[in-house]
Amino acid sequence: MTRSDPEFTLFIPTYNRAKLLPRALASIEAQTCRDFEVVIVDDGSTDDTAAVVAAWRTRVDFPVVYVRQPNRGKYAAHNVGVERARGRFFVLLDSDDRLLPDTLERIRRHWHSIPEGERWRFAGVEGLVESMDGKRLLTEPYPQSPLDISYLDLFYRLGVGGDKKHAIRTEILRRFPYPIFPGETNIRDSITWNRIAHHYIFRCVNEPFQQVEYQPDGLTSNRFRVRMGSPRGFQQFHLEEITLHRPWLSRRQLRRSTIAFIRFSLHLRVGFWQQARLTGYDPLWLMLLPAGLLRWLVDCYRLRFQDAAPPNRVPIRN
């Protein structure tokens, strides 16, 4: 990045959110820190999203990049946004959320509070989310603030989960893109944060950075369909949990993740011998096979009798 590049890239992935998008765009215009660009990736919208963005671009005084792509999902859009970003820090703003007016200013202040000689260890700054009326937090706060910690330690050892919002160094995100599987559009956000956590930590603060409103047709509200529609991505996530991240998992977490790995492997028609090889012939995997098989059967029942939307399945053979 050159000296003329902005401090922040504000990234908006969007799909058929033309009516809600102006709220997010207005919150960008209201930022007290003006050292940013905006990258919008339109994931195949069929509404007036393009027109909304075009009209907005004509009246703002900062760079706006608009990319339109066929519908490939939020995470493919995220990878495209990172590729196009020029900012030092990458800030995700969902198209139905909004930033608080001083969010970027506070993120920059927290980053500069880290001693310069130690910043190489940090992926970025992370904060909380609150309701649109600003009256309540929608996520679990950190046990102290500031807290310098990796995602693996935060989630698996301290048990602090929930939606968080962060500014991440763009150069790090380029090294850790989301894995994309043909025919699938979703994966767990934390697959990338877990990978980053082996190398970097975050400065976490108990301050809201964004106001969010979860939509009825969003990813959060359609978890079963999301998971059944992207079994390979979820299988990969749980495989990494029980292999790469195993030292961080409690016994209970390890059991749950192993069962989930078996469950999604069966949806992919991955045979038992292949599962055994992938897990390193783990005795726990063998012991939990009946539980994983039962969980898969429950899914099959729900898909046949309770859920009309069939999943996208990508068969993997032994």
- Domain co-membership, 204 together with 256: no
- CA neighbor of 21 nearest in space, from 84, 87, 97: 97
Residue 317: inside a domain, yes or no? Answer: no
- Domain co-membership, 274 together with 153: no
| pLDDT in the model for residue 226 | 84
- Domain co-membership, 99 together with 212: yes
**Contact, 74 vs 48, CB < 8 A?**
no
| pLDDT in the model for residue 305 | 84
Instruction: Check pLDDT > 60 for residue 318.
Output: no
Residue 193's domain is classified under what CATH number? 3.90.550.10
Residue 133: inside a domain, yes or no? Answer: yes
pLDDT digits (tens, 9 = 90+) for 80-134: 999 999 999 999 999 889 999 999 999 999 999 999 999 999 999 999 999 998 8
Which range marks the domain in which residue 40 is found? 8-218
**Contact, 91 vs 10, CB < 8 A?**
yes
- Domain co-membership, 165 together with 299: no
User: What would the two tokens of residue 302 be?
Assistant: 């729900």
| pLDDT in the model for residue 315 | 37
Beta strands in 95-146 (DSSP E): 98-99, 122-130
Mapped onto helix, strand or coil, the DSSP state of residue 37 is strand
Residue 3: inside a domain, yes or no? Answer: no
- CA neighbor of 124 nearest in space, from 110, 144, 139: 110
CA distance 41 to 12: 6
Instruction: Check pLDDT > 50 for residue 311.
Output: no
CA distance 183 to 230: 8
| pLDDT in the model for residue 222 | 73
| pLDDT in the model for residue 29 | 96
Q: Give the distance from CA 67 to its chain's centroid.
A: 20
H or E segment at 262?
helix 251-267
Phi, psi at residue 291, to the nearest 5°?
-65, -40
Counting every residue written for the chain, the total comes to 318
| pLDDT in the model for residue 268 | 96
Domain final residue pick, 194, 218, 242: 218
To the nearest whole number, what is the mean pLDDT of the chain? 92
Residue 295: inside a domain, yes or no? Answer: yes
Domain final residue pick, 173, 195, 218: 218
Residue 193: inside a domain, yes or no? Answer: yes
- Domain co-membership, 31 together with 92: yes
91: exposed, middle or buried (Cβ count in 10 Å: 0-12, 13-18, 19+) = buried
- Domain co-membership, 248 together with 209: no
pLDDT digits (tens, 9 = 90+) for 218-244: 555 478 888 899 999 999 999 999 999
- Domain co-membership, 212 together with 231: no
Vertex 108, ends 55 and 99: CA angle to 5°? Answer: 40
Tokens 């994309």, residue located: 180
- Domain co-membership, 104 together with 135: yes
User: What would the two tokens of residue 119 be?
Assistant: 């910043």
Instruction: Check pLDDT > 60 for residue 167.
Output: yes
Share of the chain above pLDDT 70, in %: 93
- Domain co-membership, 228 together with 174: no
Residue with the bigger pLDDT between 163 and 293: it is 293
- Domains of the chain: total: 2
266: exposed, middle or buried (Cβ count in 10 Å: 0-12, 13-18, 19+) = buried
Share of the chain above pLDDT 90, in %: 81
| pLDDT in the model for residue 185 | 87
Instruction: Check pLDDT > 90 for residue 245.
Output: yes
User: What would the two tokens of residue 134 be?
Assistant: 């600003």
What does each C-alpha distance from 222 to 96, 225, 227, 232, 292 come to in angstroms? 16, 6, 9, 17, 22
Mapped onto helix, strand or coil, the DSSP state of residue 24 is helix
Residue 2: inside a domain, yes or no? Answer: no
User: What would the two tokens of residue 237 be?
Assistant: 């996530």
User: What would the two tokens of residue 212 be?
Assistant: 């969010």
Instruction: Check pLDDT > 60 for residue 312.
Output: no
- Domain co-membership, 275 together with 296: yes
Find all residues with CB under 8 Å of 29, minimum gap 6, and list them.
60
Q: What is the mean pLDDT of residues 11-18?
A: 94
Helix axis angle, 231-242 to 190-197, nearest 10°: 30
- Domain co-membership, 154 together with 226: no
DSSP state of 217: T
| pLDDT in the model for residue 316 | 33
Instruction: Check pLDDT > 70 for residue 3.
Output: no
Tokens 């939307």, residue located: 309
| pLDDT in the model for residue 219 | 52
- Domain co-membership, 143 together with 288: no
Other beta carbons within 10 angstroms of residue 26's beta carbon come to 12
Residue 54: inside a domain, yes or no? Answer: yes
| pLDDT in the model for residue 2 | 52
Residue 255: inside a domain, yes or no? Answer: yes
| pLDDT in the model for residue 96 | 86
Instruction: Check pLDDT > 70 for residue 182.
Output: yes
Q: What is the mean pLDDT of residues 50-63?
A: 95
| pLDDT in the model for residue 313 | 43
pLDDT digits (tens, 9 = 90+) for 278-310: 999 999 999 999 999 999 999 999 988 876 454
Domain final residue pick, 218, 242, 270: 218
